[in-house]
Amino acid sequence: MRIAIVILNWNGEVLLERYLPSVVQYSQGADVYVVDNASTDDSVAFIKANYPTIQIVQNKENGGFTKGYNIGLKNIDADVYCLLNSDVEVTENWLHPILEVFSKNKDAAIIQPKILDMMRPEYFEYAGAAGGFIDKLGYPFCRGRIFQELEKDNGQYDDVLEIFWATGACMFIRKEVFWSVNGFDEHYFAHQEEIDLCWRAKNKGHKVFYVGASKVYHLGGSTLSNMNPKKTYLNFRNSLFSITKNLPRKKALTIIGFRLLLDGIAALRFIFQFKFNHCFAILRAHLSFYRNFGKMYKVREKANFIPKYYLTKSIVWQHFVHHVRNFNDLVKH
């Protein structure tokens, strides 16, 4: 099984200098690529000077996460792509458990490892943690992370489990599956594009897995921090895009109605916290969604609702009303 580790880079020379050594050291048997999104720093020169075995694909423009990978992967041949953030440190033997699941389970199309926090290694990291899910209203959450609450890794998720979505911070995906769903949706630019990709793959009958025996450490926030208003804008807008595209019409429209109300409450909460930029970001997200609704509606997948993956009706209600902070406590409510 040929695997290509593909790192998307934009002006990330400092990150490459810090995190490439672990990728090169612990990825024997895999080909390593850097897809450069028209960087203006010395990223490309650094790679050429220090890592001559790494292959470089240079994009002509910065198309963000979505377009950057779509263009770059067209130039890379492999059986499995590993899409790896430039701020991820991998560990010894991280590839073997992933490839073992791919080999034994032909239905496995997408896999993520355990994602731990670089700054607090004993805790799960925000972007992916121990595998992603969504609630019935389309809000994403993870095993090991509910909103800003991060669990400590005590081995409670050292398993192999089918999940709903895998993080784009470290996502393994079969090449034929990636292209069968036409890659990432470039309307997203960045954030939650991996949820949409996994959702579209599941709608075609593919499976997404988490493999706890493989672990990596993610710095996170190197492009946008979790509390950056631009990230708030992209997350709220792109979540509505995914609902519109990936659910049957009646369910999608019903859920969007609920989301308009809940997103309004979220905006009010930001006002009470004096985070006015975030409130404005939600407003901008909805205006962008309304402008693009017709386009999203036309390209949406015709799929059945998959209730078994919606572990709770509302993660918002569970967290902010019942004060649920750990994934395993969801079953109690």
Give me the CATH number covering residue 155: 3.90.550.10
On whether both 192 and 318 belong to a single domain, the answer is: no
In a domain, 223, yes or no: no
On whether both 212 and 258 belong to a single domain, the answer is: no
What's the pLDDT at 330? 84
| 155: confidence class by pLDDT, cuts 50, 70, 90 | very high
Pairing relationship of beta strands 170-174 and 80-84 according to DSSP bridges = antiparallel
- Give the whole-angstrom CA distance, residue 38 versus residue 41: 9
| 190: confidence class by pLDDT, cuts 50, 70, 90 | confident
Over residues 167-196, the mean pLDDT reads: 95
Query: H-helix or E-strand containing 111?
Result: strand 108-117
On whether both 52 and 144 belong to a single domain, the answer is: yes
In a domain, 247, yes or no: yes
* DSSP 8-state assignment for residue 93: T
- Give the whole-angstrom CA distance, residue 71 versus residue 23: 22
Over residues 97-113, the mean pLDDT reads: 97
What's the pLDDT at 282? 96
In a domain, 312, yes or no: yes
On whether both 21 and 102 belong to a single domain, the answer is: yes
On whether both 44 and 92 belong to a single domain, the answer is: yes
In a domain, 127, yes or no: yes
Measured in whole angstroms, the distance separating CA 110 from the mean position of its chain's CA atoms is 12
What's the pLDDT at 239? 95
Over residues 185-213, the mean pLDDT reads: 93
On whether both 152 and 287 belong to a single domain, the answer is: no
Over residues 163-175, the mean pLDDT reads: 97
In a domain, 82, yes or no: yes
In a domain, 23, yes or no: yes
> In this structure, are residues 313 and 136 in contact, taking their beta carbons and an 8 Å threshold?
yes
What's the pLDDT at 136? 87
- Phi then psi for residue 28, to 5 deg, are -60, 135
On whether both 135 and 172 belong to a single domain, the answer is: yes
Last residue of a domain, one of 188, 218, 248: 218
Query: Worst-scoring range by mean pLDDT, 29-33, 247-251, 272-276, 320-324?
Result: 247-251
On whether both 97 and 242 belong to a single domain, the answer is: no
Last residue of a domain, one of 218, 237, 272: 218
On whether both 49 and 106 belong to a single domain, the answer is: yes
What's the pLDDT at 6? 98
277-328: pLDDT as tens digits: 999 999 999 999 999 999 898 877 665 555 455 668 889 889 989 899 999 9
In a domain, 87, yes or no: yes
Q: What percent of the chain has pLDDT over 90?
A: 81
Number of folded domains that form the chain: 2
Query: Worst-scoring range by mean pLDDT, 96-105, 220-229, 232-241?
Result: 220-229
What's the pLDDT at 250? 86
Which residue range(s) make up the domain with 67?
Answer: 3-218
What's the chain's average pLDDT? 92
In a domain, 224, yes or no: no
> In this structure, are residues 125 and 163 in contact, taking their beta carbons and an 8 Å threshold?
no
Last residue of a domain, one of 186, 218, 250: 218
On whether both 236 and 211 belong to a single domain, the answer is: no
On whether both 214 and 235 belong to a single domain, the answer is: no
Query: Worst-scoring range by mean pLDDT, 11-15, 76-80, 214-218, 294-298?
Result: 294-298
pLDDT of 214 strictly over 90 = yes
On whether both 102 and 187 belong to a single domain, the answer is: yes
